[in-house]
C-alpha cells in the first residue's frame, strides 16, 4: 500500500516538513516522495505520496491518488468519470483513494468496505479535512485523528456516504426486531406493517410539524400496535437536505426530489433506532433512490414492490411552497435566464433552476446535463 497524506488546504511549510519527515522515518526506502498542489477555487489541495504520483483523466479535470490491491487505478478513474461514486461498489480487496474534481472544486475520499487498507482523517479548526495512511503524519497537522469508516466515501460539502450496495455480503441479514416500516398513511405501508410479527412492529413517519398527515399516521400506528417513531423537521432542515437528496436522485427532476424528501427524513429517523427499514413501493426508480438514501445513513432498506397497492408519497403543499419560495429568493431573474441559456434542458421555474445548479455543484464533473 502506498503512503499518502492529503490536505484540502495549503499547510505551512513547517507542518509539511514534519509530515514528510514522519513518512521518511517510518519507511526504510529513502526516496523523497512526490508533493503536488492542486487549485480548488479559493483553496489549495495538497498531496504528498511516498511511492506514486497522481493520475489524471484525459481532460485533466479529475486527479486520483490511492492504492488498490489490484492494478485498476485507470479503470476506477474512468468509471468514476461516468458514474460517480458508484465506481466504488464492485471493487474487490483492499483500497483507499482520493479523487480531486477541479471543475466542481470538490474532492472524494473512499476506503474499502472490509477495513483492509489503513486510512485515517482529521479536521482543522477552520473545517478543512486531511486524510492519510499514517496516524502520525496527521497528528502533525490536527489534534484529533479518526479511522476512516470502511465502505464509505467522503465528499466535500456532502459529507459521508456508504457505498455498500443493497444485498452486499458485508451487510448483515437483520431480523424483524431490527426493522422499521416507513408509515405514510397509504394502504400498502399498512399491509407491510401487518406482515411483521405483532410483537415486533416498528413504524416511522417524518414531516413538517404543520403536516396534517402526522395525526393520521399516529392513530394508524396505535391501531396497528406498533412502536412508532416520528421525525419532525423544520424549514431550515428541509432546505439544507436538498443537496443530499439531489445526490441520491442523481438528477434535478423536481418531482423526484420533492417525492424523496419524506423518505429522506423518515430513513434518517429509522437509522437512529434500527438497522433496516422497509418501504412499500411500486416505482423502481424511487426504489433505487430510497436505497441510496438509506445507505447514506448506513441503513439497509427493503423495498418490497406491492403492485396495485402502493402510491407515491407526495410532499404536502406547505413544504412544496417552502422550496419554491426559497428558490425564488436564491435565484434572481438574471441568474435564472443565464441558467436557461447555458443549457439545452427545459428549465421551467426557479425551483428547477436551483435544483439544476445544485446538481452540477455537488455531483462529479461530466454527469449528464439533461435527465
Joined together, the cell numbers standing for residue 367 give 454527469
CATH code: domain of residue 64: 3.60.20.10
Average pLDDT per block of 10 residues along the chain, 371 residues long: 83 88 63 73 78 81 86 86 85 87 89 80 89 83 83 84 54 51 75 74 87 78 85 93 90 90 94 89 80 88 60 70 94 93 90 92 68 58
**Does residue 74 share a domain with residue 108?**
yes
- Structural domain range at position 74: 4-162
What are the E-state strand segments in the chain?
Answer: 4-7, 34-40, 43-49, 55-56, 62-68, 95-101, 106-111, 120-123, 129-132, 146-147, 152-155, 159-162, 179-182, 202-208, 227-233, 276-278, 300-302
The sign of the torsion formed by the CA atoms of 328, 360, 292, 54 equals negative
CATH code: domain of residue 285: 3.40.50.620
Measured between alpha carbons, how far is 45 from 34 in angstroms, rounded to an integer? 14
Question: What pLDDT does residue 348 have?
Answer: 92
Question: What pLDDT does residue 174 have?
Answer: 32
Residue ranges of alpha helices (H) inside 96-212 are: 135-139, 187-194
Which of 302, 320, 355 finishes a domain? 302
Question: What pLDDT does residue 119 have?
Answer: 85
Count of the separate structural domains present in the chain: 2
Question: What pLDDT does residue 308 have?
Answer: 42
**Does residue 195 share a domain with residue 87?**
no
| Region label for 111, one of left (φ > 0), alpha (ψ between -120 and 50) or beta (otherwise) | beta
Measured between alpha carbons, how far is 225 from 7 in angstroms, rounded to an integer? 51
In DSSP terms, which residues pair with 162 in a beta bridge? 152
Question: What pLDDT does residue 69 have?
Answer: 78
Which of 241, 269, 302 finishes a domain? 302
Joined together, the cell numbers standing for residue 212 give 396534517
Question: What pLDDT does residue 326 have?
Answer: 95
**Does residue 183 share a domain with residue 156?**
no
Residue 169 lies in a domain: no
Residue 364 lies in a domain: no
What angle separates helix 350-362 from helix 254-273, to the nearest 10 degrees?
60
**Does residue 184 share a domain with residue 131?**
no
Which of 108, 136, 162 finishes a domain? 162
Q: Is 123 helix (H, G, I), strand (E, B) or coil?
A: strand
Amino acid at each position: 500500500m502506498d503512503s499518502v497524506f492529503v490536505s484540502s488546504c495549503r499547510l505551512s511549510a513547517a507542518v509539511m516538513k514534519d509530515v514528510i519527515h514522519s513518512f521518511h522515518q517510518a519507511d526504510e526506502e529513502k526516496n523523497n516522495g512526490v508533493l503536488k498542489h492542486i487549485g480548488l477555487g479559493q483553496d489549495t489541495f495538497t498531496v504528498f505520496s511516498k511511492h506514486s504520483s497522481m493520475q489524471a483523466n484525459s481532460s485533466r479535470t479529475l486527479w486520483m491518488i490511492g492504492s488498490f490491491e489490484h492494478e485498476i487505478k485507470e479503470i476506477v478513474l474512468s468509471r468514476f468519470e461516468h458514474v460517480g461514486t458508484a465506481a466504488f461498489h464492485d471493487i474487490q480487496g483492499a483500497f483507499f483513494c482520493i479523487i480531486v474534481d477541479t471543475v466542481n472544486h470538490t474532492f472524494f475520499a473512499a476506503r474499502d468496505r472490509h477495513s483492509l487498507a489503513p486510512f485515517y482523517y482529521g479536521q482543522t479548526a477552520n473545517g478543512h479535512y486531511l486524510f492519510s495512511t499514517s496516524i502520525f503524519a496527521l497528528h502533525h497537522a490536527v489534534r484529533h485523528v479518526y479511522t476512516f469508516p470502511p465502505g464509505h466515501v467522503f465528499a466535500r460539502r456532502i459529507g459521508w456516504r456508504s457505498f455498500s450496495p443493497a444485498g452486499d455480503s458485508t451487510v448483515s441479514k437483520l431480523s424483524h426486531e431490527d426493522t422499521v416500516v416507513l408509515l405514510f398513511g397509504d394502504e400498502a405501508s399498512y399491509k407491510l406493517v401487518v406482515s411483521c410479527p405483532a410483537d415486533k412492529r416498528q413504524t416511522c413517519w417524518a414531516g413538517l410539524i404543520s403536516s396534517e398527515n402526522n395525526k393520521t399516521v399516529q392513530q394508524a400506528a396505535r391501531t396497528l400496535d406498533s412502536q412508532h417513531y416520528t421525525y419532525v423537521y423544520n424549514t431550515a432542515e428541509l432546505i439544507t437536505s436538498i443537496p443530499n437528496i439531489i445526490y441520491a436522485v442523481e438528477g434535478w427532476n423536481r418531482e423526484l426530489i420533492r417525492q424523496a424528501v419524506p423518505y429522506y427524513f423518515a430513513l434518517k429517523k429509522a437509522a437512529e433506532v434500527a438497522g433496516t427499514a422497509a418501504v412499500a413501493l411500486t416505482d423502481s426508480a424511487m426504489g433505487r433512490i430510497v436505497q441510496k438514501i438509506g445507505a447514506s445513513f448506513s441503513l439497509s432498506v427493503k423495498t418490497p414492490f406491492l403492485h396495485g397497492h402502493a402510491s407515491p408519497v407526495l410532499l404536502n403543499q406547505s413544504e412544496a411552497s417552502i422550496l419554491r419560495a426559497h428558490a425564488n429568493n436564491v435565484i434572481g431573474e438574471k441568474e435564472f435566464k443565464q441558467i436557461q441559456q447555458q443549457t439545452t434542458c427545459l428549465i421551467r421555474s426557479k425551483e428547477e433552476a436551483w435544483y439544476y445548479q445544485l446538481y452540477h455543484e455537488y455531483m462529479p464533473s461530466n454527469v449528464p446535463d439533461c435527465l
